Amino acid sequence: MISYDLSKRGDMPRYQYLYARIREDITNGRLRPDERMPSKRRFAEVLSVSVNTVMAAYDLLVAEGFLYTVEKKGYFVSRLHYVVPKAGKKPMAPPEPSEDSHWFMDFRASHAPLQLFPASLWAKCMREAIGVSDSTLMSTVSWRGMRVLREAIAAELADHRGMTRVSPEQIVVGAGTEYLYSRLMQILGTDLTIASADTGPSKFAQIARNHGHHWRYFPIDEKNLRVDLISQAPVDVVQLSPANLFPYGTTMPIDRRIAFFEWANAAKGRWIVEDDYDAEFCFVPAGHRSMFSEDAQDKVIYLNTFSKTMVPSLRISYMVLPPALLARYEETVSFYACSVSSFEQYALALFINRGYYERHLFRLLKHYRKLRAAILNEIRHNAVLSRIAEVADFGVGTHFLMTVRTDLPEDEILSRAAAKSLRFHFFHPLNQKPPAGCVQIIINFASIEAANVHAVFERLATIF
């Protein structure tokens, strides 16, 4: 007769431990199909437990199909027609990536120092949102997002990006640009070819390909993406960042914008996706308005996010759709609920409407302007970098491209950088070769503290 040592059960109830052991013996084949189990009374005597304990274990096994009963004969082992996973150690999950907080300077980080964020004002807005006794905050949010936030965004776009014709109905709010871009790929059509600037791999390319579209990289010139080459190719959608071509920090001039409008208007079904990346941080006196504001034929789709201007954890982005695409969105994908909490949306609307956001942007822009000047001055006066490094002229954004004359291979440079607790990306356009005897490094200066500028670039210089 089978028996089990119940002293090994620890804090587990007796019936549960007995159930687990019998179940294990059935799945590993120790107890064979149709084998008769000990009677409840006899088994209880062998195990020195109550009959109720055995009955509870048996009842669980019957309920789950591991045992079956025959009237006046007792309990029998079921014949299983599938393999039940054996109990054991949990499989090892892949390790989570580290937070990388140990770097002296991570030039890949793309957020402002958190001390610049008005956390107390944001907390005030969140507390007020949570305290609102409005049933709409407890209900399912419209697929567009809360109207109060969309109205605030529309007013902000009219004041700062020249988008005076945007109505709140055209705005769709979502948790991150990637989420919204995925929805956009669903409504644009099927088997499309999308063109973008050849400035390295894009997360948007992966999203587009996941939806069955084709992504092509095209060369750039001093004016941004080359529209002449796109006009010669079977392209349906053009992905542009006219306010800030990453990582050059340059703005598309008006003649190139007009050329892209002419391309879009020349055939039905062509679209321009405007990613207004870092447009808020313009350091030149006269920045261009958005392409959406200059579009007379409703061919431009506008994307932007609050994650860069607020804090990265605030996953609130939005897109502005032309009327034709808005109708298509509602028909095809409006069953997706808005992916942003109503409380965060309401709090952000308060933050914008009370002027906190505008003051925060002004403070950030002032900080970045001073930081940019300090960094460029440091590079010009550094004994090493002043001789071997050149910085591409940039007027927008918190990145710049630094070309360094060196014969060191990239692997060696990265190894030396890691030894100095520095981390960065090299710039690798997909269809362009880097200058001979040079490497190009992308410097994201958003997270550099002003007091550390000298120390950061002094350490960077020692690599070369």
Higher per-residue pLDDT: 433 or 324: 324
On the question of pLDDT at 376 being above 70, the answer is yes
CA distance 235 to 270: 8
On the question of pLDDT at 440 being above 60, the answer is yes
Rg (CA), the chain: 31
- In the chain, the domains with their CATH numbers are 6-77 (1.10.10.10), 116-354 (3.40.640.10), 360-462 (3.90.1150.10)
Residue 132 has a pLDDT of 84
Lowest mean pLDDT among 31-40, 426-435, 449-458: 426-435
Question: Tell me: the pLDDT tens digits for 76-92?
Answer: 999 886 655 655 566 66
What integer is the mean pLDDT of 307-330? 93
Query: Cα dihedral angle (436, 439, 440, 445), rounded to 10 degrees?
Result: -160
**Cis amide bond preceding 94, omega within 30:** no
SS (H, E, C) 376-433: HHHHHHCCCHHHHEEECCCCECCEEEEEEECCCCHHHHHHHHHHCCEECEECCCCCCC
CA distance 49 to 61: 18
Neighbours of 439 (CB within 10 A): 20
Backbone φ and ψ of 318, nearest 5°: -155, 155
Lowest mean pLDDT among 247-251, 266-270, 320-324: 247-251
CA distance 118 to 120: 6
pLDDT confidence tier of residue 413, bands split at 50, 70 and 90: very high
Residue 168 DSSP one-character state: G
Partners of residue 36 on adjacent β-strands: 76
Partners of residue 303 on adjacent β-strands: 275, 319
Lowest mean pLDDT among 13-17, 230-234, 278-282, 284-288: 284-288
pTM of the complete model: 0.79
For residue 36, the SS3 value is: strand
Task: Quote the mean pLDDT of the chain.
Answer: 90
CA distance 343 to 126: 7
Residue 133 has a pLDDT of 75
pLDDT confidence tier of residue 111, bands split at 50, 70 and 90: confident
Report residue 381 as tokens.
């006066």
Question: Tell me: the pLDDT tens digits for 183-216?
Answer: 999 999 999 999 999 887 688 999 999 999 999 9
pLDDT confidence tier of residue 140, bands split at 50, 70 and 90: confident
CA distance 143 to 329: 10
On the question of pLDDT at 145 being above 90, the answer is yes
Residue 429 has a pLDDT of 81
Share of the chain above pLDDT 70, in %: 93
Share of the chain above pLDDT 90, in %: 73
What integer is the mean pLDDT of 292-306? 95
Neighbours of 109 (CB within 10 A): 16
Partners of residue 296 on adjacent β-strands: none
Helix axes 356-381, 119-131, angle to 10 degrees: 150
On the question of pLDDT at 385 being above 60, the answer is yes
